[in-house]
Amino acid sequence: MSEGKKGRSLRRIALDFLARREHSEQELRQKLEARADDVDEVEAVLQKLKDEGLQSDERFTEAYVHHRVNAGIGPLKIRYELRQKDIDESLSDAILEPMAEQWEHMMREQRGRKYGDSIPADYAERMKQARFLQNRGFSPESVMRLFR
């Protein structure tokens, strides 16, 4: 199948998106479908980009996790966000599992940055801080361990 003028322009649009940042296949598909008349053409462009190594869900996942970790987001929230972006759970696990030892330190750092170093004696204040950490994506078990 020869690429017509429209196929090249759709490819160019995809390359423009990928030049700005990594995109998951699903994100790129949605953006291209919004600009294309033919869904089959979108699939063909996506497949060609994947075959050429220009679009990679693995590369996207690594970049996304790195970005979210730098923003102080915990593993539960990152997993949820990756699921929303249609990233395979095994791929998420492969990127997040090696970081398991970092989460505790990161959680302490986030709490300390917002509330200071000392753990409050007041139950209501501890629960407020626990909710903050859980909303950032840290597990309830690890949060409760922090306050014991």
pLDDT at 16: 96
* pTM of the shown model: 0.84
pLDDT tens, residue order, the chain (148 aa): 444 455 568 999 999 999 999 999 999 999 999 998 889 999 999 999 999 999 999 999 999 999 999 999 999 999 999 999 999 999 999 999 999 889 999 999 999 999 998 889 999 999 999 999 999 999 999 999 998 8
pLDDT at 101: 87
pLDDT at 147: 87
pLDDT at 8: 61
Sign, CA torsion 81/82/86/90: negative
